[in-house]
Chain A
Amino acid sequence: MGNTMNINLKVWRQQNENAQGHFEEHKVQASPDMSFLEMFDVLNEQLIEDGKDPIAFDHDCREGICGMCSMVINGRPHGPKGGVTTCQLHMRSFKDGDTVVVEPWRANAFPVIKDLSVNRSAFDRIISSGGYVSVNTGNAVDANSVLIPKDVADTAFQAATCIGCGACVSACKNASAMLFVGAKVTQLSMLPQGQPERESRVVAMVDQMDAEGFGACTNTGACAAECPKEIPLSVIANLNREYYKAKLNGK
Chain B
Amino acid sequence: MKLDAKIPEGPLEQKWTKYKSSVPLVNPANKRNLNIIVVGTGLAGASAAATLAEMGYQVSAFCFQDSPRRAHSIAAQGGINAAKNYQNDGDSVHRLFYDTIKGGDYRSREGNVHRLAEVSTNIIDQCVAQGVPFAREYGGTLSNRSFGGTQVQRTFYAAGQTGQQLLLGAYSALERQVGLGNVKMYARHEMVEVVKIDGKARGIIARNLVSGKLERYFGHAVLLCTGGYGNVFYLSTNAMGSNVTAAWKAHKAGALFGNPCFTQIHPTCIPVSGHYQSKLTLMSESLRNDGRIWVPKKQGDTRHPNDIPEEERDYYLERRYPAFGNLVPRDIASRAAKERCDAGYGVGPSKMAVYLDFKYNMMNKYGRAEATKHGIANPDDETLLRLGKDIIKEKYGNLFDMYKQITAEDPYEVPMRIYPAVHYTMGGLWVDYELQTTVPGLYALGEANFSDHGANRLGASALMQGLADGYFVIPYTIGNYLSKEIHTKPIPTDHEAFEEAEKRANERISGFLKIKGTRTVESYHRELGLIMWDKCGMARNEKGLKEAIEQIRALREDFYKNVRVPGSDSGFNPELDKAGRVADFLELGELMCLDALAREESCGGHFREEFQTEEGEAMRDDDKFLSVFAWENKGNNDYELHREDLNYENIKIQQRSYK
- Taking beta carbons and an 8 Å cutoff, which residues of A are in contact with B? 1, 15-16, 31, 33-35, 37-38, 41-42, 44-45, 47-49, 51-54, 56, 58-68, 83-84, 88, 90, 92, 113-114, 117, 119-121, 123-124, 127-144, 146-150, 153-154, 156-157, 160-161, 163-164, 187-188, 191, 193-194
Question: With contacts A34-B276, A124-B68 known, is A114 near B140, CB below 8 A?
Answer: no
* Shortest CB distance A14–B (Å): 11
B241 is an interface residue with CB less than 8 A from chain A:
yes
* Shortest CB distance A242–B (Å): 15
Give chain B residues whose Cβ lies under 8 Å from the Cβ of A67: 67, 69-70, 74
Q: How far is the CA of A64 from the CA of B239 in the complex (A)?
A: 11
Q: Is the CB of B86 within 8 A of A144?
A: yes
Give chain B residues whose Cβ lies under 8 Å from the Cβ of A163: 164
Q: Is the CB of B136 within 8 A of A62?
A: no
Give chain B residues whose Cβ lies under 8 Å from the Cβ of A121: 66-67, 187
Q: How far is the CA of A153 from the CA of B172 in the complex (A)?
A: 18
Q: Is the CB of B159 within 8 A of A193?
A: no
Q: Identify which of B352-360, B400-408, B452-460, B594-602 touches chain A.
A: B400-408
Q: Is the CB of A84 within 8 A of B239?
A: no
Interface bits B236-262 vs A (CB < 8 Å: 1, else 0): 000111000000000000000000000
Which residue from A1, A49, A88, A133 sits with its C-beta under 8 Å from B129?
Answer: A133
* Shortest CB distance B286–A (Å): 16
Write the chain B residue with the least CB distance to A124: B67
Beyond known contacts A49-B520, A62-B239, A143-B142: 15 more, CB 8 A cutoff: A53-B566, A54-B566, A56-B574, A62-B240, A66-B239, A90-B408, A117-B572, A121-B67, A124-B69, A133-B172, A135-B129, A150-B137, A153-B134, A160-B132, A164-B67
B278 is an interface residue with CB less than 8 A from chain A:
yes
Q: Is the CB of A153 within 8 A of B131?
A: no
Q: Is the CB of B131 within 8 A of A187?
A: yes
Q: Is the CB of B130 within 8 A of A88?
A: no
Q: How far is the CA of A66 from the CA of B238 in the complex (A)?
A: 12
* Shortest CB distance A228–B (Å): 11
Interface bits B507-545 vs A (CB < 8 Å: 1, else 0): 000000000001010110000000000000000000000
Which residue from A37, A83, A120 sits with its C-beta under 8 Å from B278?
Answer: A37
Which residue from B86, B129, B158 sits with its C-beta under 8 Å from A157?
Answer: B158
Q: Is the CB of A147 within 8 A of B75?
A: no
Give chain A residues whose Cβ lies under 8 Å from the Cβ of B567: 53
Q: Is the CB of B239 within 8 A of A137?
A: no
Q: Is the CB of A136 within 8 A of B54?
A: yes
Q: Is the CB of A60 within 8 A of B65?
A: yes
Q: Give 3 closest A-B pairs by Cβ, nearest first.
A: A147-B140, A132-B172, A140-B129
Q: How far is the CA of A117 from the CA of B571 in the complex (A)?
A: 13
Write the chain B residue with the least CB distance to A149: B140
Residue total for B at the interface (Cβ-Cβ under 8 A):
84
B564 is an interface residue with CB less than 8 A from chain A:
yes
* Shortest CB distance B318–A (Å): 29
Q: How far is the CA of A26 from the CA of B239 in the complex (A)?
A: 27
Q: Is the CB of B172 within 8 A of A88?
A: no
Q: Is the CB of B239 within 8 A of A61?
A: yes
Q: How far is the CA of A83 from the CA of B400 in the complex (A)?
A: 13
Q: Is the CB of A113 within 8 A of B210?
A: yes
Question: With contacts A37-B278, A61-B239 known, is A148 near B131, CB below 8 A?
Answer: no
Q: How far is the CA of A53 from the CA of B523 in the complex (A)?
A: 17
Q: How far is the CA of A70 from the CA of B141 in the complex (A)?
A: 38
Q: Is the CB of B75 within 8 A of A63?
A: yes
Write the chain B residue with the least CB distance to A40: B278
Q: Is the CB of A141 within 8 A of B125?
A: yes
Q: How far is the CA of A38 from the CA of B175 in the complex (A)?
A: 33
Which residue from A33, A142, A157 sits with its C-beta under 8 Å from B133?
Answer: A157
Which residue from A35, A117, A124, A148 sits with its C-beta under 8 Å from B187?
Answer: A124
Q: Is the CB of A33 within 8 A of B126?
A: no
Interface bits B99-130 vs A (CB < 8 Å: 1, else 0): 00000000000000000000000101111111
Question: With contacts A141-B125, A193-B129 known, is A128 near B572, CB below 8 A?
Answer: no
Interface bits B404-446 vs A (CB < 8 Å: 1, else 0): 0110100000000000000000000000000000000000000
Question: Which B13-53 residues have C-beta < 8 A from chain A?
Answer: 47, 50-51
Q: Is the CB of A140 within 8 A of B133?
A: no
B135 is an interface residue with CB less than 8 A from chain A:
yes
Write the chain B residue with the least CB distance to A162: B168
Of the candidates B122, B136, B401, B471, the one having the most CB atoms from chain A within 10 angstroms of its own CB is B136
Write the chain A residue with the least CB distance to B70: A66
Q: Is the CB of A148 within 8 A of B140?
A: yes
Give chain A residues whose Cβ lies under 8 Å from the Cβ of B47: 137
* Shortest CB distance B610–A (Å): 37
Q: How far is the CA of A65 from the CA of B69 in the complex (A)?
A: 10
Give chain A residues whose Cβ lies under 8 Å from the Cβ of B572: 16, 56, 113-114, 117
Give chain A residues whose Cβ lies under 8 Å from the Cβ of B132: 160
Q: How far is the CA of A90 from the CA of B278 in the complex (A)?
A: 13
Q: Is the CB of A65 within 8 A of B67?
A: no
Q: Is the CB of B131 within 8 A of A191?
A: yes
Q: Is the CB of A60 within 8 A of B240?
A: yes
Q: Is the CB of A137 within 8 A of B133?
A: no
Of the candidates A90, A124, A129, the one having the most CB atoms from chain B within 10 angstroms of its own CB is A124
Q: Is the CB of B405 within 8 A of A66?
A: no
